[in-house]
Chains A and B, each alone.
Chain A
Amino acid sequence: GAGVSQSPSNKVTEKGKDVELRCDPISGHTALYWYRQRLGQGLEFLIYFQGNSAPDKSGLPSDRFSAERTGESVSTLTIQRTQQEDSAVYLCASSLGTDPEAFFGQGTRLTVV
């Protein structure tokens, strides 16, 4: 498909386990974002990748959260030792680095039980 793809679409995990979320951006998009939306809340910025620049990690809520991106391709968001407050929809978006419009994936709904 031509859009941003996220997997899995749903993930239920036990408290304390690690999870890995995947994002496949639109081909050619140099910028990639991770956001999360907790129930009843707005979009919370987590991390931003732009080309070969150092990522902007200013939104990561704790050191249990990390993200990687290889070149201009797939990104993975890893949450270690998950807590119940990590339950949220995790959204990935990508954009051309020269265009502000970002395209979002469908999100991964993470539930920590």
Chain B
Amino acid sequence: DQQVKQNSPSLSVQEGRISILNCDYTNSMFDYFLWYKKYPAEGPTFLISISSIKDKNEDGRFTVFLNKSAKHLSLHIVPSQPGDSAVYFCAASAWSGGSNYKLTFGKGTLLTVNP
């Protein structure tokens, strides 16, 4: 039972254009969502997050949008740069009692930004 789904295994965009990475979730208890970026041979690094009380969070070139009714979130990268080429993981967490934010990850989307 995959609770966090990234249905596009890969995405290719031209430098300077917008990259849109999508993520769907099934668990309505999820209340916090995160995006991680992973380069080969490195661990994932945190990129941006959003709480379920918001529908948008922006940090520089990166914006995350949350549509709770559709259980869908997306990461927009504008403008895309070749250095953004990496695997992007969507993650979600739910308050499961006490101080407990267990993270559930999607399978990732490989973004390739072509010069």
Q: Which residues of A contact B (CB under 8 A)?
A: 4, 30-31, 33, 35, 41-43, 45, 48, 50-51, 53, 56, 91, 93, 95, 97-107
C-alpha gap A51/B102 in the complex (Å): 12
The residue in chain B whose Cβ has the minimal distance to the Cβ of A4 is B43
Contact A102 B103 (CB under 8 A): yes
Contact B99 A98 (CB under 8 A): yes
The residue in chain A whose Cβ has the minimal distance to the Cβ of B92 is A100
The residue in chain B whose Cβ has the minimal distance to the Cβ of A105 is B43
Q: Which residues of B contact A (CB under 8 A)?
A: 6, 32, 34, 36, 41-46, 49, 89, 91, 93, 98-108
26 contacts between A and B (CB under 8 A): A4-B43, A31-B100, A33-B102, A35-B105, A42-B6, A42-B89, A42-B107, A43-B44, A48-B102, A50-B98, A50-B102, A51-B98, A56-B102, A91-B44, A93-B43, A93-B44, A93-B103, A95-B101, A98-B101, A99-B101, A100-B49, A100-B101, A101-B46, A101-B49, A102-B46, A106-B43
For the complex with contacts A97-B101, A106-B41, 4 further pairs of A-B residues with Cβ separation under 8 Å are A43-B108, A51-B99, A97-B99, A100-B34
